Structure 1
């Protein structure tokens, strides 16, 4: 999260840019604005997910499994490789999703060390319920803009 409510003024950034070589004030201001908008967007998404008993990580895990229609499951290791969190966090996330009956974890017939993860009917239903609002937030004219 980016915690500044009020971004630095152009004058302030120009002052720093004048003091430090190779600093482009426009790029700094653009980056600060991008960070602020992204933070607001993530905050909106997290609030939306919370209304549906999800987090961003739980939602993204469900999406990873669902986004490959030619496959009915993913290996837990594949999920861990595709998420930017540690393996223990992925393991806890998968356990929570299984407890909530949104995924089913089963043994991999080809590799006893591997586990397959598939969406349950409840998991598919959860995505069907959550996706319209998720896309509505992303589709706003200014997603992450000030309200």
Structure 2
């Protein structure tokens, strides 16, 4: 049984048990999730040969659009809705490629900012 038929059975079952069940909204949500996964998989497949994924690409894109090509790690974490631990891992990878560099913040020497390097900018183009 393919997943669409299974989804139809689940929706029909829910509708039989609850008349006000939002079947169309459920179906739309499921379809959106599938499209998102397919798009992400396709993007990651294309980026794999460069050794990065969609998350690392989004970090580079955010830095590229930021003032002075720079953001603190906490802001990257918030904008991408991923953990600070994961941002650290992503930045470690990007730093090895030479796409970013970490530098002391001018406002607070206790913290570091993430800067897009010319190589990182070139990669985006």
What is the CA-CA distance between 1:80 and the residue it aligns to? 2.1
Q: How many residues align?
A: 123
The residue that corresponds to 2:56 in the other structure is 58
Q: In 2, distance between residues paired with 1:10 and 1:77?
A: 39
* Structure 2, unaligned runs of 5 or more: none
What is the CA-CA distance between 1:9 and the residue it aligns to? 5.8
The residue that corresponds to 1:41 in the other structure is 39
TM-score, normalised via structure 1 length: 0.74
Q: In 2, distance between residues paired with 1:21 and 1:115?
A: 55
The residue that corresponds to 2:4 in the other structure is 7
* Structure 1, unaligned runs of 5 or more: 129-147
Whether the 8 Å CA contact 1:76–1:114 is kept in 2: the answer is no
Question: What SS does structure 1 have at the residue aligned with 2:69?
Answer: coil
Q: In 2, distance between residues paired with 1:86 and 1:22?
A: 37
What is the CA-CA distance between 1:90 and the residue it aligns to? 0.8
Whether the 8 Å CA contact 1:77–1:114 is kept in 2: the answer is no
Question: Which runs of structure 2 are paired with 1:109-124 in the superposition (5 Å)?
Answer: 109-124=106-121
What is the CA-CA distance between 1:21 and the residue it aligns to? 4.2
What is the CA-CA distance between 1:10 and the residue it aligns to? 7.5
RMSD (Å) for aligned C-alpha atoms: 1.9
Q: Kindly tell me: are residues 11 and 60 of structure 1, through their superposed partners in 2, closer, same or farther at Cα, counting changes over 3 Å?
A: closer
Q: Kindly tell me: are residues 35 and 106 of structure 1, through their superposed partners in 2, closer, same or farther at Cα, counting changes over 3 Å?
A: same
Mapped pair 1:107 → 2:104: yes
Mapped pair 1:16 → 2:27: no
Question: What SS does structure 1 have at the residue aligned with 2:98?
Answer: coil
Mapped pair 1:25 → 2:23: yes
Between 1 and 2, higher relative CO (CA 8 Å, sep ≥ 6) is seen in 1
